[in-house]
Structure 1
Amino acid sequence: MNAKEFVDVIKKVVRDSSIKGVISLLKSPPGRKPKEELLEMSKFYNERTIDEKKIIQNIIELSVDNSVFGVLCVLDGVRAIEDEESKGQLTLTYEKDEKVILNKNEDLHDYYNQI
């Protein structure tokens, strides 16, 4: 696996599934006694027109994209997680047949922006 393949997998198993999961929660909250806040959001969502639901979906997509992008920026070291002058470095390693540092010479967040 290389950096681009990793980001492609993240798009599929994190981004896309998160968006689908939130929309599914809004359409029909699971469980016998969902939280009142979720029920209110569900009621609001289900009362919208198709066009309004599309706008809500776009907002969800924007939120998820910004969150995943932010995490990738942290992994790449372009978004600080420490206030100190001397900062540590995060290394993302994938091991299967060999050991690959995915964020060594490539910025994962740049691949993510190629949506």
Structure 2
Amino acid sequence: MKYAVAAIAGLAVLSGCATFGGDMVVRVSGRVPTGQSDDGGLGCELSMLGESGNVVSSKPVGRVFSVPMMVVAGPEPKGYHFIVQCRDGQRFESDVVQISSQRSYARHLDLGELQAR
């Protein structure tokens, strides 16, 4: 009986997060073009920027990456974009990506190849 109550409570919390929003983990994957001074894929940082341009989250990455990132997502879509800054000075950006707690397929964001800026 305790397990059934715990399972029902857990489902209620999960459905509430999908309806009202909250912390959500998304997997962000992509790659940046290989440069002439490629350092073996080390020394880059991926930053997630919100609509206001503020950094929401950052992670160290290589030139090919797939990392989990935390975002506060509500039922209405919000635009985020991603920047990869490498140690050699190269900078790459993604297009704006819409994230919402209503869209379960948005939990994995494949950015493809980011463009040099």
TM-score relative to the length of structure 2: 0.23
Highest CA radius of gyration, 1 or 2?
Answer: 1
Q: Which has the higher strand share?
A: 2
TM-score relative to the length of structure 1: 0.24
Q: Which has the higher helix share?
A: 1
